[in-house]
Structure 1
Protein backbone atom coordinates (compact mmCIF):
# COMPACT_ATOMS: atom_id res chain seq x y z
CA UNK A 1 0.00 0.00 0.00
CA UNK A 2 1.18 3.52 -0.77
CA UNK A 3 0.99 6.50 1.56
CA UNK A 4 -1.90 8.79 0.65
CA UNK A 5 -1.66 11.40 3.36
CA UNK A 6 1.17 11.96 5.83
CA UNK A 7 -1.10 14.14 7.92
CA UNK A 8 -3.76 11.45 8.22
CA UNK A 9 -1.14 8.83 9.01
CA UNK A 10 0.29 11.08 11.71
CA UNK A 11 -3.11 11.37 13.36
CA UNK A 12 -3.56 7.62 13.10
CA UNK A 13 -0.27 6.89 14.82
CA UNK A 14 -0.96 9.50 17.47
CA UNK A 15 -4.19 7.70 18.28
CA UNK A 16 -2.32 4.42 18.45
CA UNK A 17 0.27 5.83 20.83
CA UNK A 18 -2.48 6.92 23.20
CA UNK A 19 -4.18 3.53 23.16
CA UNK A 20 -3.46 0.58 25.38
CA UNK A 21 -1.80 -2.41 23.73
CA UNK A 22 -4.34 -5.18 23.25
CA UNK A 23 -3.92 -8.75 24.38
CA UNK A 24 -4.80 -12.02 22.73
CA UNK A 25 -8.04 -13.90 23.15
CA UNK A 26 -8.59 -14.40 26.90
CA UNK A 27 -7.17 -17.69 28.14
CA UNK A 28 -9.70 -20.37 28.87
CA UNK A 29 -12.27 -19.03 26.38
CA UNK A 30 -13.41 -21.40 23.67
CA UNK A 31 -12.42 -20.43 20.15
CA UNK A 32 -15.46 -18.95 18.38
CA UNK A 33 -17.15 -20.64 15.45
CA UNK A 34 -17.48 -18.86 12.12
CA UNK A 35 -21.16 -18.25 12.86
CA UNK A 36 -20.28 -16.69 16.22
CA UNK A 37 -17.76 -14.41 14.48
CA UNK A 38 -20.39 -13.44 11.92
CA UNK A 39 -22.96 -12.64 14.57
CA UNK A 40 -20.50 -10.76 16.80
CA UNK A 41 -19.38 -8.51 13.95
CA UNK A 42 -22.71 -8.05 12.17
CA UNK A 43 -23.14 -4.57 13.68
CA UNK A 44 -20.16 -3.36 11.65
CA UNK A 45 -22.20 -3.67 8.47
CA UNK A 46 -22.93 -0.06 9.32
CA UNK A 47 -19.51 1.55 8.93
CA UNK A 48 -20.62 4.35 11.25
CA UNK A 49 -20.68 1.83 14.10
CA UNK A 50 -17.09 0.86 13.30
CA UNK A 51 -16.00 4.48 13.26
CA UNK A 52 -17.76 5.14 16.56
CA UNK A 53 -15.91 2.21 18.16
CA UNK A 54 -12.50 3.51 17.13
CA UNK A 55 -11.86 1.88 13.76
CA UNK A 56 -9.93 4.13 11.38
CA UNK A 57 -9.95 4.01 7.60
CA UNK A 58 -6.65 2.84 6.15
CA UNK A 59 -4.56 6.04 5.79
CA UNK A 60 -3.00 4.62 2.62
CA UNK A 61 -6.55 4.76 1.19
CA UNK A 62 -6.14 1.64 -0.91
CA UNK A 63 -8.64 -0.92 -2.13
CA UNK A 64 -6.43 -3.99 -2.42
CA UNK A 65 -6.70 -6.37 -5.36
CA UNK A 66 -4.80 -9.55 -6.20
CA UNK A 67 -3.13 -8.08 -9.28
CA UNK A 68 -1.78 -5.19 -7.18
CA UNK A 69 0.18 -7.82 -5.28
CA UNK A 70 1.46 -9.59 -8.37
CA UNK A 71 -1.14 -12.35 -8.11
CA UNK A 72 -3.59 -13.47 -10.83
CA UNK A 73 -6.40 -10.95 -11.19
CA UNK A 74 -8.99 -13.72 -11.17
CA UNK A 75 -8.29 -14.30 -7.47
CA UNK A 76 -10.27 -11.11 -6.85
CA UNK A 77 -9.83 -8.42 -4.23
CA UNK A 78 -9.69 -7.76 -0.51
CA UNK A 79 -11.24 -4.32 -0.29
CA UNK A 80 -10.69 -1.27 1.93
CA UNK A 81 -9.29 -1.87 5.42
CA UNK A 82 -10.48 -0.14 8.60
CA UNK A 83 -8.42 -0.89 11.70
CA UNK A 84 -8.27 -0.31 15.45
CA UNK A 85 -4.82 1.16 16.28
CA UNK A 86 -5.04 -0.12 19.85
CA UNK A 87 -5.85 -3.68 18.82
CA UNK A 88 -3.11 -3.78 16.17
CA UNK A 89 -0.75 -2.14 18.66
CA UNK A 90 0.84 0.23 16.14
CA UNK A 91 4.07 1.71 17.55
CA UNK A 92 5.90 3.17 14.54
CA UNK A 93 5.08 4.75 11.16
CA UNK A 94 6.53 3.60 7.81
CA UNK A 95 10.21 4.22 8.61
CA UNK A 96 10.52 2.36 6.38
CA UNK A 97 7.72 0.10 7.66
CA UNK A 98 4.81 0.18 10.09
CA UNK A 99 5.64 -1.69 13.29
CA UNK A 100 3.63 -2.74 16.33
CA UNK A 101 3.36 -4.97 19.39
CA UNK A 102 -0.31 -5.95 19.66
CA UNK A 103 -1.15 -9.59 20.43
CA UNK A 104 -4.88 -9.48 19.71
CA UNK A 105 -6.32 -12.65 18.13
CA UNK A 106 -10.03 -12.67 19.05
CA UNK A 107 -12.12 -12.61 15.86
CA UNK A 108 -15.27 -11.71 17.79
CA UNK A 109 -13.62 -8.32 18.17
CA UNK A 110 -11.33 -8.13 15.12
CA UNK A 111 -8.57 -5.56 14.84
CA UNK A 112 -9.38 -5.03 11.14
CA UNK A 113 -12.63 -4.79 9.18
CA UNK A 114 -12.69 -5.04 5.38
CA UNK A 115 -15.24 -3.25 3.22
CA UNK A 116 -16.16 -3.27 -0.45
CA UNK A 117 -16.88 0.19 -1.95
CA UNK A 118 -20.35 0.40 -3.47
CA UNK A 119 -21.58 2.28 -6.53
CA UNK A 120 -23.66 4.63 -4.35
CA UNK A 121 -20.64 5.60 -2.25
CA UNK A 122 -21.47 3.35 0.72
CA UNK A 123 -19.29 0.59 2.14
CA UNK A 124 -20.31 -3.07 2.46
CA UNK A 125 -18.66 -5.24 5.11
CA UNK A 126 -17.17 -8.36 3.51
CA UNK A 127 -14.58 -9.78 5.93
CA UNK A 128 -12.80 -9.44 9.25
CA UNK A 129 -9.09 -9.77 9.94
CA UNK A 130 -6.55 -9.92 12.75
CA UNK A 131 -2.84 -9.09 12.49
CA UNK A 132 0.12 -9.54 14.84
CA UNK A 133 3.71 -8.54 14.16
CA UNK A 134 6.04 -11.54 14.08
CA UNK A 135 8.71 -10.03 16.35
CA UNK A 136 6.23 -9.20 19.12
CA UNK A 137 4.38 -12.50 18.74
CA UNK A 138 7.51 -14.61 19.15
CA UNK A 139 8.84 -12.36 21.93
CA UNK A 140 5.67 -13.28 23.83
CA UNK A 141 6.80 -16.91 23.80
CA UNK A 142 5.06 -18.33 20.74
CA UNK A 143 7.09 -20.74 18.61
CA UNK A 144 4.81 -20.68 15.57
CA UNK A 145 2.16 -18.43 14.04
CA UNK A 146 -1.33 -18.04 15.53
CA UNK A 147 -4.00 -20.45 14.34
CA UNK A 148 -7.75 -20.18 13.89
CA UNK A 149 -10.02 -23.18 13.35
CA UNK A 150 -6.87 -25.28 13.06
CA UNK A 151 -5.43 -23.18 10.23
CA UNK A 152 -2.17 -21.26 10.62
CA UNK A 153 -2.30 -17.55 9.90
CA UNK A 154 -0.53 -16.31 6.75
CA UNK A 155 3.08 -15.18 7.19
CA UNK A 156 3.66 -11.86 5.41
CA UNK A 157 7.09 -10.36 4.77
CA UNK A 158 8.45 -8.28 1.93
CA UNK A 159 10.76 -9.96 -0.56
CA UNK A 160 13.38 -7.34 -1.55
CA UNK A 161 14.00 -9.26 -4.77
CA UNK A 162 10.54 -8.38 -6.12
CA UNK A 163 9.15 -5.03 -7.28
CA UNK A 164 5.96 -5.39 -5.23
CA UNK A 165 5.68 -5.03 -1.47
CA UNK A 166 4.27 -8.31 -0.19
CA UNK A 167 3.96 -6.91 3.37
CA UNK A 168 2.06 -3.70 2.45
CA UNK A 169 4.71 -1.42 4.05
CA UNK A 170 4.42 -3.39 7.31
CA UNK A 171 7.14 -5.18 9.23
CA UNK A 172 6.92 -9.00 8.96
CA UNK A 173 3.62 -10.12 10.43
CA UNK A 174 1.01 -12.84 10.60
CA UNK A 175 -2.55 -12.16 9.49
CA UNK A 176 -5.74 -14.03 8.89
CA UNK A 177 -8.71 -12.99 6.76
CA UNK A 178 -12.07 -14.53 7.59
CA UNK A 179 -14.75 -14.09 4.93
CA UNK A 180 -17.87 -14.37 7.07
CA UNK A 181 -19.77 -11.53 5.42
CA UNK A 182 -19.21 -12.38 1.73
CA UNK A 183 -19.08 -15.89 0.29
CA UNK A 184 -15.62 -16.68 -1.06
CA UNK A 185 -15.11 -19.44 -3.68
CA UNK A 186 -11.39 -19.37 -2.78
CA UNK A 187 -12.19 -20.39 0.78
CA UNK A 188 -13.20 -18.65 3.99
CA UNK A 189 -9.54 -18.06 4.96
CA UNK A 190 -8.21 -17.00 1.53
CA UNK A 191 -6.49 -13.65 1.10
CA UNK A 192 -8.55 -12.54 -1.91
CA UNK A 193 -12.17 -12.99 -2.95
CA UNK A 194 -13.39 -13.04 -6.59
CA UNK A 195 -16.81 -11.96 -5.31
CA UNK A 196 -15.32 -8.63 -4.17
CA UNK A 197 -14.51 -5.73 -6.48
CA UNK A 198 -12.69 -2.42 -6.16
CA UNK A 199 -14.22 -0.92 -9.31
CA UNK A 200 -16.27 1.57 -7.27
CA UNK A 201 -13.36 2.73 -5.13
CA UNK A 202 -13.06 6.53 -5.34
CA UNK A 203 -10.87 7.23 -2.33
CA UNK A 204 -12.00 8.47 1.06
CA UNK A 205 -13.43 11.69 -0.37
CA UNK A 206 -15.65 9.75 -2.75
CA UNK A 207 -17.33 7.53 -0.15
CA UNK A 208 -20.02 8.31 2.35
CA UNK A 209 -20.29 6.80 5.82
CA UNK A 210 -23.81 5.41 5.50
CA UNK A 211 -24.26 1.66 5.54
CA UNK A 212 -24.57 -0.21 2.24
CA UNK A 213 -28.15 -0.94 1.30
Structure 2
Protein backbone atom coordinates (compact mmCIF):
# COMPACT_ATOMS: atom_id res chain seq x y z
CA UNK A 1 0.00 0.00 0.00
CA UNK A 2 2.91 2.37 0.67
CA UNK A 3 4.31 2.15 -2.88
CA UNK A 4 1.52 4.24 -4.40
CA UNK A 5 2.02 7.37 -2.20
CA UNK A 6 5.76 7.22 -2.86
CA UNK A 7 5.17 6.88 -6.62
CA UNK A 8 2.78 9.84 -6.51
CA UNK A 9 5.36 11.84 -4.54
CA UNK A 10 8.09 11.04 -7.03
CA UNK A 11 5.79 12.05 -9.89
CA UNK A 12 5.02 15.34 -8.14
CA UNK A 13 8.74 15.93 -7.57
CA UNK A 14 9.40 15.39 -11.28
CA UNK A 15 6.62 17.82 -12.15
CA UNK A 16 8.02 20.36 -9.69
CA UNK A 17 11.46 20.09 -11.26
CA UNK A 18 9.94 20.85 -14.67
CA UNK A 19 8.16 23.84 -13.16
CA UNK A 20 11.43 25.09 -11.69
CA UNK A 21 13.24 24.68 -15.00
CA UNK A 22 10.53 26.62 -16.82
CA UNK A 23 10.35 29.35 -14.18
CA UNK A 24 12.63 32.34 -14.35
CA UNK A 25 12.53 32.68 -10.54
CA UNK A 26 13.07 35.90 -8.61
CA UNK A 27 11.65 37.77 -11.57
CA UNK A 28 10.32 40.46 -9.31
CA UNK A 29 6.75 39.14 -9.03
CA UNK A 30 6.38 37.92 -5.43
CA UNK A 31 3.16 36.02 -6.21
CA UNK A 32 4.74 34.14 -9.12
CA UNK A 33 7.79 33.32 -6.99
CA UNK A 34 5.60 32.07 -4.12
CA UNK A 35 3.77 29.83 -6.61
CA UNK A 36 7.15 28.54 -7.81
CA UNK A 37 8.21 27.78 -4.23
CA UNK A 38 4.95 25.95 -3.53
CA UNK A 39 5.19 23.92 -6.75
CA UNK A 40 8.80 22.96 -6.01
CA UNK A 41 8.20 21.90 -2.41
CA UNK A 42 4.68 20.47 -2.55
CA UNK A 43 6.07 17.04 -3.34
CA UNK A 44 7.83 16.93 0.03
CA UNK A 45 4.88 16.63 2.36
CA UNK A 46 6.56 13.41 3.50
CA UNK A 47 9.91 13.82 5.31
CA UNK A 48 11.02 10.55 3.71
CA UNK A 49 10.65 12.08 0.25
CA UNK A 50 12.65 15.11 1.39
CA UNK A 51 15.44 12.82 2.58
CA UNK A 52 15.44 11.03 -0.79
CA UNK A 53 16.00 14.45 -2.39
CA UNK A 54 19.09 15.12 -0.21
CA UNK A 55 17.41 17.12 2.56
CA UNK A 56 18.99 15.95 5.82
CA UNK A 57 17.09 16.06 9.11
CA UNK A 58 18.59 17.99 12.00
CA UNK A 59 16.42 15.94 14.40
CA UNK A 60 16.00 18.97 16.65
CA UNK A 61 12.69 20.77 16.89
CA UNK A 62 13.38 24.51 17.09
CA UNK A 63 11.13 26.68 19.23
CA UNK A 64 11.09 29.96 21.12
CA UNK A 65 9.38 30.23 24.53
CA UNK A 66 7.33 33.27 23.50
CA UNK A 67 7.20 33.44 19.69
CA UNK A 68 6.34 29.80 18.94
CA UNK A 69 8.13 27.17 16.90
CA UNK A 70 9.84 26.57 13.60
CA UNK A 71 9.81 22.78 13.78
CA UNK A 72 12.33 20.29 12.44
CA UNK A 73 14.69 21.53 9.74
CA UNK A 74 15.60 19.28 6.82
CA UNK A 75 18.50 21.04 5.10
CA UNK A 76 20.00 20.63 1.66
CA UNK A 77 23.52 22.08 1.81
CA UNK A 78 23.60 22.40 -2.00
CA UNK A 79 20.76 24.94 -1.77
CA UNK A 80 22.41 27.20 0.81
CA UNK A 81 23.05 30.48 -0.95
CA UNK A 82 20.25 30.03 -3.48
CA UNK A 83 17.81 32.86 -4.02
CA UNK A 84 15.76 30.82 -6.48
CA UNK A 85 12.27 30.29 -5.04
CA UNK A 86 12.34 26.63 -6.10
CA UNK A 87 15.56 25.87 -4.19
CA UNK A 88 15.06 26.47 -0.46
CA UNK A 89 17.93 25.57 1.84
CA UNK A 90 15.57 23.88 4.29
CA UNK A 91 12.14 22.35 4.58
CA UNK A 92 10.45 22.75 7.96
CA UNK A 93 8.25 20.07 9.49
CA UNK A 94 6.12 20.40 12.62
CA UNK A 95 4.69 17.52 14.62
CA UNK A 96 0.94 17.04 14.39
CA UNK A 97 -1.18 15.89 17.36
CA UNK A 98 -0.02 12.31 16.82
CA UNK A 99 3.65 13.29 16.49
CA UNK A 100 3.81 12.78 12.71
CA UNK A 101 5.88 15.45 10.94
CA UNK A 102 3.96 17.72 8.58
CA UNK A 103 5.51 20.13 6.06
CA UNK A 104 4.80 23.67 7.27
CA UNK A 105 7.40 26.06 5.81
CA UNK A 106 10.56 26.56 3.80
CA UNK A 107 13.69 28.51 4.65
CA UNK A 108 16.24 30.24 2.43
CA UNK A 109 19.76 30.77 3.80
CA UNK A 110 22.33 33.04 2.16
CA UNK A 111 25.87 33.57 3.38
CA UNK A 112 26.69 37.13 4.48
CA UNK A 113 29.20 38.27 1.85
CA UNK A 114 31.43 40.26 4.22
CA UNK A 115 30.87 38.04 7.30
CA UNK A 116 30.32 41.19 9.38
CA UNK A 117 27.17 41.19 11.53
CA UNK A 118 27.49 44.96 11.84
CA UNK A 119 26.75 45.64 8.17
CA UNK A 120 23.68 44.89 6.08
CA UNK A 121 24.54 46.26 2.64
CA UNK A 122 24.54 42.73 1.25
CA UNK A 123 21.12 41.74 2.65
CA UNK A 124 19.28 39.60 0.06
CA UNK A 125 15.62 39.98 -0.83
CA UNK A 126 13.04 37.49 -2.15
CA UNK A 127 9.28 37.61 -2.60
CA UNK A 128 9.51 41.40 -2.09
CA UNK A 129 10.79 40.71 1.44
CA UNK A 130 14.21 41.45 2.95
CA UNK A 131 15.92 38.51 4.65
CA UNK A 132 16.36 38.48 8.46
CA UNK A 133 19.83 38.77 9.95
CA UNK A 134 22.70 38.65 9.67
CA UNK A 135 23.06 35.80 12.17
CA UNK A 136 26.23 34.30 13.61
CA UNK A 137 24.71 31.99 16.23
CA UNK A 138 24.13 28.70 14.39
CA UNK A 139 26.95 26.16 14.70
CA UNK A 140 28.22 24.94 11.35
CA UNK A 141 26.94 27.96 9.43
CA UNK A 142 28.92 31.08 8.61
CA UNK A 143 27.38 34.50 9.24
CA UNK A 144 24.21 34.40 7.17
CA UNK A 145 20.78 35.80 6.38
CA UNK A 146 17.60 33.72 6.40
CA UNK A 147 14.04 33.99 5.23
CA UNK A 148 11.22 31.72 6.39
CA UNK A 149 8.11 31.30 4.26
CA UNK A 150 5.09 29.62 5.85
CA UNK A 151 3.68 28.14 2.65
CA UNK A 152 2.06 25.08 4.20
CA UNK A 153 0.74 26.28 7.59
CA UNK A 154 -1.01 29.52 8.40
CA UNK A 155 1.09 31.77 10.62
CA UNK A 156 -0.73 34.50 12.54
CA UNK A 157 2.65 36.25 12.95
CA UNK A 158 2.93 36.62 9.16
CA UNK A 159 3.96 34.69 6.07
CA UNK A 160 7.64 35.59 6.54
CA UNK A 161 7.93 35.50 10.35
CA UNK A 162 10.69 33.24 11.67
CA UNK A 163 8.45 31.59 14.29
CA UNK A 164 4.87 30.39 14.21
CA UNK A 165 2.83 30.43 17.46
CA UNK A 166 0.83 27.46 16.11
CA UNK A 167 3.94 25.23 15.95
CA UNK A 168 4.73 23.34 19.14
CA UNK A 169 7.78 21.19 19.74
CA UNK A 170 7.57 18.06 21.86
Q: TM-score, normalised by structure 1?
A: 0.59
Instruction: Tell me, in whole angstroms, the C-alpha distance in 2 between the residues paired with 1:85 and 1:77.
Output: 22
Match of 2:43 in 1: 43
Q: Conserved in 1, the CA contact under 8 Å of 2:79 and 2:87?
A: no
Mapped pair 1:79 → 2:71: yes
Higher relative contact order (CA 8 A, sep 6+): 1
Structure 1 gap ranges (5+): 1-27, 68-72, 89-102, 159-166, 200-213
Q: What is the CA deviation profile of residues 142-161 of structure 1, one whole-angstrom value per residue up to 9, with x for unaligned ones?
A: 94211012211001334xxx
The corresponding residue for 2:138 is 168
Report matched runs for 1:76-115 at 5 Å. 76-88=68-80, 103-115=81-93
Aligned equivalents of 2:99, 2:165: Cα separation in 1: 20
Consecutive aligned runs of 4 or more in structure 1 exceeding 6 Å deviation: none
Q: Which residue of 1 aligns with 2:12?
A: none
Aligned to 1:187: 158
Of 62, 65, 71, which residue of structure 2 is paired with 1:64? 62
**Counterpart in 1 of 2:134?**
156
Q: CA RMSD in A?
A: 2.8
User: 1 CA distance for matches of 2:154 and 2:85?
Assistant: 17
- What is the alpha-carbon distance in structure 1 between the residues aligned to residue 99 and residue 156 of structure 2? 26
Number of residue pairs matched?
142
Do residues 125 (structure 1) and 100 (structure 2) align? no
Could you tell me how far apart the structure 2 residues matched to 1:197 and 1:136 are? 35
Contact 1:179–1:189 (CA under 8 A) maintained in structure 2: yes
How far residue 105 of structure 1 moved from its aligned partner, in angstroms, is 1.3
Q: Which residue of 1 aligns with 2:54?
A: 54
Q: Normalized per residue, which structure has more strand?
A: 2
Q: Structure 1 54/136 Cα, relative in aligned 2: closer, same or farther at 3 Å? A: farther
State the 1:119 CA deviation.
Answer: 4.2
Question: Is the CA contact (8 Å cut-off) linking 1:156 and 1:172 kept in structure 2?
Answer: yes
The 1-side partners of 2:152 and 2:86 are apart by 13
CA distances 1:115-137 after superposition (whole Å, capped 9, x unpaired)? 01234342100000110111379
Q: Quote the offset at 1:38 in angstroms.
A: 1.7
